[in-house]
A and B are shown apart, each in its own frame.
Chain A
Amino acid sequence: DSGVTQTPKHLITATGQRVTLRCSPRSGDLSVYWYQQSLDQGLQFLIQYYNGEERAKGNILERFSAQQFPDLHSELNLSSLELGDSALYFCASSVVGDSYEQYFGPGTRLTVT
C-alpha cells in the first residue's frame, strides 16, 4: 500500500460524457502527478501540481483539466470523452518536486463505450 488513494477504481461511461477522477496523496506529500497508461502508449505524464499550483504540464489534452485543493487532494476532469480516452489513470505523489521518488496510487480504469 503506497498511501495514495484513488477513486473510483473503475468507471464506465459513454462517449461525450464528463467524468472526475479523485486522488488523495500520501500524508505530507505536496506534489501530485497524473498519468495515463494505455497499452500502446505506455505511461504518459499529464500534469503535476505542487501545493495547489500547476507545476508541470505534459501531454494533456485541452479536454482534460486538473486541480489540487487546499487539503492537497487532486481531481482530474475528463470531458467530451472519446473511445481513445479509455485507459488506466494513475495518480502519484511525492514529497516535493520532480527529483523525488513518486508513490503511485492503485489507478482508475476508465472505459468509454
Chain B
Amino acid sequence: GQQVMQIPQYQHVQEGEDFTTYCNSSTTLSNIQWYKQRPGGHPVFLIQLVKSGEVKKQKRLTFQFGEAKKNSSLHITATQTTDVGTYFCAGYSGGGADGLTFGKGTHLIIQP
C-alpha cells in the first residue's frame, strides 16, 4: 500500500532559526495536505497542495509540492515559540480505497 515517509522525526531549533520538514510518498499523489498538532491537541489542517510544483505561503510558512507529485516540504522562517508542535503531511493518491495516508510527523522543539 501507499507509504508516506517524513523526516526528520524530531527537530530542535533555537527560536529565530528556520525549520524544514520533508515528506516523501512511495506513489504519485493527487494532493498532499499538511496538518499541525500542538502538544495535547488535535491535528489542525494547514493547507492542501494539488498542482505539480505548487508553492504556497502562509506568513512565515512555505509549502512546496514536488514536480513529480511524490514529495513535499514545509519550511518555517524565523521560528517562534508558537510554532511548537508536530507537523504532519498526509497524502491522497486518489481512488478512495486507502483514504488519506499520514506521515509519522516531525516534532518541532524550540529552545528560547
Contact = CB atoms under 8 A, between A and B. Distances in A.
Interface of A: 2, 33, 35, 41-45, 47-48, 55-58, 90, 92, 97-99, 101-107
Nearest to A6: B42
* Interface-centre pick from A57, A99, A107 (highest chain B CB count, 10 A): A99
B45 interface: yes
B42 A106 contact: yes
Contact of A102 (B96, B100, B104, B105): B100
A56 B97 contact: yes
**Binding site secondary structure of chain B:** loop
29 contacts: A2-B42, A2-B44, A33-B99, A41-B104, A42-B102, A43-B88, A43-B102, A44-B102, A45-B99, A45-B100, A45-B101, A47-B99, A48-B99, A55-B96, A56-B96, A58-B99, A90-B42, A98-B96, A98-B99, A98-B100, A99-B30, A99-B48, A102-B33, A102-B43, A102-B45, A103-B45, A104-B42, A105-B42, A107-B42
Nearest to A97: B96
A43 B45 contact: no
Interface of B: 30-31, 33, 35, 41-45, 48, 88, 92, 94, 96-105
Contacts of B105: 42-43
B24 to A, nearest CB: 15
A104 B30 CA distance: 21
Contact of B43 (A48, A56, A90, A99): A90
Contacts of B43: 43, 90, 92, 102, 104
A24 to B, nearest CB: 15
A41 B60 CA distance: 29
Nearest to B9: A42
Given A99-B92, A104-B42, A104-B43, A42 B103 contact: yes
